[in-house]
Amino acid sequence: MSKKHRKTDERQKAGTTGVTNSPDRSAAAARRKAPSSSLWAAATSEIAGTAPALVAAHLPAPVAAADGIVTVAPGRRFDLAEVDANADGSLDKDWAKAALATERARIQALQEKLYAERQRSLLVVFQAIDTGGKDGTIRAVFEGVNPQGCSVASFKVPSIEERDHDFLWRYHQRTPARGMIGVFNRSHYEDVLVVRVKDLVPEPVWQARYGLINDFERLLTESGTHILKFFLHISKDEQKERLEARIADPEKHWKFDPADLVERKSWDAYQTAFSDALTRCSTPHAPWYVVPANRKWFRNLIIARTIADTLEAMDPRFPEAQAGVAEMTVPD
Ligand code: AMP
Ligand code: MG
C-alpha cells in the first residue's frame, strides 16, 4: 500500500475521511526509518567543525500533501483551471478550526526540535494572486511558533540595489539558516509572474529563469533546506468579493491597494503565468502544492497539516546531552 493510501486508510479506520486528526502519530513515527548512524554522525561533526555541509541525505522525499491539496506532478502540463477553488473537502467548519489547533501544536513541537538540532531548515513559499490570502495563512498557521526559530520575508517591488544584482540575489539572502523555518510571502517566482505579465524584462530573460529557479531550489535542497511551495488558488469572483470587502470596511482600507484593480484586468494573463510556473518548476524534490483557497478555514487546515507532516518526516531530534549532565548539580 502506498504511503498516501495507507494514510487515507488510517483516517478511514478512525471513522472520518478527508483531513483528520491522525489516530496514532507515535505509531507512524515508530515505523519511520531512523537516519543511518554514520550519516547522522557525519552531519553532527560538520556542525561542530568547519566543513560546509551537504546534508541532502537527511531530507526525506516530499510527503503526500494533505487531502484537498493538488500536487503538480513533475513533468506534466498543469492548468490551474483543473482545480476547484471552492473545494472544502466536505468538512465541517468548526471541526476544521479545532483541527487547525492540533496541527499548530504539532508544528510548534517539531519546530522546537528542528531549532535545537540545528542541522536542516524548512523553507515555506507562498504565492497567490492579490487578495489570495498569503498574509492570513501565515498568521493562522504560524501563530504560536517560537519567533526565534522562524523568519518571514515579504518581497515587494525590488529596490534599485536589488535590481542591480541577479534576480535571485535578494531571495538567497533570506533563505532559512539551519534550525530555522523560513517563510516567503511572495518569492523568486515573482520574477516569472508579475515580471512576465507586466513585460518588465524581455521574454528570453524570463524564459531562462524557470531553469535557474530549479537549479536554485536544487542547491538549497542539497544544502539541507526542505522546500514546500503552496499556491493559494482563489476564483475571480472571490477576488471581487475580497476587494469589495476591503473597500466597504474602514478597518480594511489599509489593505486596499487601487493597483489591485489594475492587476485584476490581467487576470487571465496571471492564470497562464501561474500555470506555466507550476508546470515548469514542479520538481521531485520541490513539487508545487495547489491549495483551494476560497474557504479560508479549509486552506489553513490543509496547509498546516502538510507542514506538520513534512516536519514530522524530517524527524528532527534534540541533540544528545553532554555526558553526565543528569548527575550534575548547580552550586549554591
Ligand atoms: P503586496 O504583497 O500586496 O504588498 O505587494 C507587493 C507588490 O510587489 C506586488 O504588486 C508584487 O507584484 C510586487 N513585486 C514583488 N516582487 C516583484 C518583482 N520581482 N518584480 C516586480 N514587482 C514585484
Ligand atoms: Mg497587495
Q: Could you tell me the three cell numbers for 248?
A: 466597504
Cell 473597500 sits on residue = 247
The backbone torsions φ and ψ at residue 128, rounded to the nearest 5 degrees and listed phi first, read -170, 165
Q: Is the CB of 258 under 6 A from ligand 1?
A: no
More confident residue, 27 or 124: 124
| Ligand 1 atom with the shortest distance to the CA of 263 | 10
Distance between Cα 194 and ligand 1 center (Å): 7
Residue-level pLDDT at 11: 39
Residues near ion ligand 2 (CB < 5 Å) are: 130, 257
Q: Is the CB of 40 under 6 A from ligand 1?
A: no
258-280: pLDDT as tens digits? 999 999 999 999 999 999 999 99
Q: How many residues does the chain have?
A: 332
Specify the CATH architecture of the domain 61-314.
3-Layer(aba) Sandwich (3.40)
The overall average pLDDT reported for the chain is 87
Residue-level pLDDT at 164: 98
Confidence of residue 60 (pLDDT cuts 50, 70, 90): confident
Which three-class secondary structure state does DSSP give residue 296?
helix
Q: Is the CB of 155 under 6 A from ligand 1?
A: yes
Q: Is the CB of 156 under 6 A from ligand 1?
A: yes
For the chain, what are the domain ranges? 61-314
Confidence of residue 58 (pLDDT cuts 50, 70, 90): low
Prediction pTM value: 0.85
109 to 82, 286, 308: CA distances (angstroms): 36, 24, 10
The backbone torsions φ and ψ at residue 73, rounded to the nearest 5 degrees and listed phi first, read -70, 125
More confident residue, 179 or 22: 179
Alpha helical stretches, state H, the chain: 3-13, 25-31, 37-48, 93-117, 134-142, 160-163, 169-172, 194-197, 203-222, 236-248, 259-264, 267-280, 296-314
Confidence of residue 41 (pLDDT cuts 50, 70, 90): very low
**If you write DSSP's letter for every residue of 124-169 in order, what string do you get?**
EEEEESTTSSHHHHHHHHHTTS-GGGEEEEE--SPPHHHHTS-TTH
Cα separation of 52 and 55, whole Å?
Answer: 9
The answer to whether the CB of 20 falls within 8 A of the CB of 99 is yes
Least Cα distance to 157 among 116, 114, 198, 121 occurs for 198
Confidence of residue 141 (pLDDT cuts 50, 70, 90): very high
Distance between Cα 143 and ligand 2 center (Å): 22
Confidence of residue 321 (pLDDT cuts 50, 70, 90): confident
